[in-house]
Amino acid sequence: MYRYVFGPVPSRRLGKSLGVNVVPLKYCNFNCIYCQLGRTRHVINDLRMFYPPEDIIKEMEVVVRARNYDYLTFIGDGEPTLYAGLGKLIQWARNNQDRPLAILTNGAKLIDEEVRSWLSELDVVKVSTDAGSERTFRLINRPHREITFDRFIEGIERFREVFSGQIWTEVMLVKGINDNEEEMERIGEALRRYRPIGSI
Ligand code: SF4
């Protein structure tokens, strides 16, 4: 019935999560080996106006009034921070409904000041940190060529400096790649750089 807004769906961390999907299938700046959506067809790292923000807002206007939910969560069938209209949607959600706002992102666009400023309006930002070194980062996340491991962590670190909400992190352990003690120690070092409130 709706094109962009779905749910609420039960989430272990977010309770009843009303999702807003802002990116078409597999436009992402990563190509993770474990991605449940399959191989990334469009490996991009620039912001794109995939849909008119007004169309998404029109749906949100109806659905937030009709449904009961704990969090309004921005996601994508790829990486949601690649959507150029995201800042507008976050502003609308902040001003027009009263539930906390979250995003599920890989975190790589946080190196971009504009994206940091959009996401600083949220309550929860869930990023991924599957690697503690450039080599493992390339093996697991297979990022766009512009993205290096150091810049990736630096972006989240910079965001930490301006963000008063919660940063959550997700660490996907892949057998034989990042599940050894040395890499886990390095992942721990990366997490200490941006201090999430918890990791799963
Ligand atoms: S960042 Fe997310 S959407 Fe992109 S490839 Fe990795 S798991 Fe898939």
The pLDDT of residue 196 is: 86
What is the number of the ligand 1 atom nearest to the C-alpha of 108? 1
Q: What is the pLDDT of residues 2-56, one digit of tens each?
A: 999 999 999 998 999 999 999 999 999 999 999 999 999 999 999 999 999 999 9
The pLDDT of residue 199 is: 43
The pLDDT of residue 102 is: 98
CA distances from 162 to 43, 49, 152, 186 (A): 28, 26, 16, 25
Distance in angstroms (rounded) separating the CA atoms of residues 64 and 49: 23
Residue nearest atom 6 of ligand 1, based on CA coordinates: 32
What is the number of the ligand 1 atom nearest to the C-alpha of 106? 1
The pLDDT of residue 200 is: 41
The pLDDT of residue 143 is: 98
Residues in the chain predicted with pLDDT less than 50, given as ranges, are: 199-200
Q: Measured in angstroms, how far is the CA atom of residue 164 from the centroid of ligand 1?
A: 26
Q: Among 41, 45, 79, which is best to mutate for testing ligand 1, by the most ligand atoms less than 8 A from CB?
A: 79
Q: Measured in angstroms, how far is the CA atom of residue 28 from the centroid of ligand 1?
A: 7
Q: What is the CATH number of domain 5-199?
A: 3.20.20.70
Angle of CA points 16, 18, 22, to nearest 5°: 150
